[in-house]
């Protein structure tokens, strides 16, 4: 493993404006699944939604649901209104299980890239490559990522899951 939470924190602190860390707050549960969420700007919302949905965007504060099993992406607590994965122009990687599964929206890495590298080498350089670009302030998460926040947390989860799967595949079947 070549990525640690402290690397992630260091990279995020390098550019908190363009790569904000997602602060999922359990006190603001998704109105569909009840899980923790974080706020997104109206700009992020309009950059992600299909134009046909714009008339439904209200004045309330919108939040992003990070639960992988929940199809709701954005919701408002004040108006009990939701937008689901179907309402977005982009695929929300953390809510998808079939390719293409976007991991990093700023630089275009998807889960298949990482899976291929791990199958070939047992490792992945993708978190380091993203962290390096982030330190150079090259990312644009609020405009690119439907969560409006940095992808590195989700990227780190994907590394753990894919390396775990690779280990399981190597062990003899019982």
Rule CB under 5 A: choose which of 8, 12, 19, 30 binds Zn ion: 30
Q: Alpha-carbon distance 109 to 100, whole Å?
A: 10
Positions 31 through 60 that interact with Zn ion (CB under 5 A): 32-33
Q: Which is nearer to Zn ion, 65 or 104 (CB)?
A: 65
Positions 97 through 126 that interact with Zn ion (CB under 5 A): none
Q: Which is nearer to Zn ion, 65 or 150 (CB)?
A: 65
Q: Alpha-carbon distance 63 to 74, whole Å?
A: 5
Which stretch in 16-24, 71-79, 91-99, 121-129 sits in contact with Zn ion by CB under 5 A? 71-79
Asked if 70 is part of the footprint of Zn ion (rule: CB under 5 A), the reply reads: yes
Q: Which residues pair with 63 in a beta bridge?
A: 39, 75
CB neighbourhood size of 147 (10 A): 28
Least distance in angstroms from the C-beta of 82 to Zn ion: 8
* Whether 21 contacts 12, CB under 8 Å: yes
* Whether 66 contacts 147, CB under 8 Å: yes
Q: Which residues pair with 129 in a beta bridge?
A: none
Least distance in angstroms from the C-beta of 86 to Zn ion: 14
Q: Chain centroid to CA 29: how far? A: 18
Least distance in angstroms from the C-beta of 104 to Zn ion: 22
Asked if 151 is part of the footprint of Zn ion (rule: CB under 5 A), the reply reads: no
Least distance in angstroms from the C-beta of 152 to Zn ion: 22
Residues constituting the chain: 174
Token pair 């775990």: residue? 164
User: Which residues contribute to the site for Zn ion (CB under 5 A)?
Assistant: 30, 32-33, 65, 67, 70, 72
């Amino acid at each position: 493993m070549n990525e640690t939470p402290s690397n992630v924190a260091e990279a995020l602190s390098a550019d908190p404006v363009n790569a904000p860390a997602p602060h999922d707050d359990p006190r603001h549960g998704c109105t569909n699944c009840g899980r923790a969420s974080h706020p997104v700007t109206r700009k992020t919302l309009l950059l992600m939604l299909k134009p046909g949905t714009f008339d439904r965007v209200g004045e309330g504060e919108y939040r992003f649901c990070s639960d992988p099993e929940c199809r709701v992406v954005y919701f408002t607590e004040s108006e009990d209104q939701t937008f689901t994965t179907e309402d977005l122009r982009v695929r929300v990687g953390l809510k998808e299980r079939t390719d293409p599964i976007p991991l990093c929206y700023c630089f275009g890495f998807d889960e298949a890239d990482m899976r291929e590298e791990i199958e070939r080498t047992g490792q992945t350089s993708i978190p380091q490559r993203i962290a390096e670009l982030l330190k150079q302030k090259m990312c644009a998460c609020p405009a690119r990522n439907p969560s409006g926040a940095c992808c590195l947390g989700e990227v780190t989860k994907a590394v753990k899951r894919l390396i775990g799967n690779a280990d399981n595949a190597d062990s003899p079947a019982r």
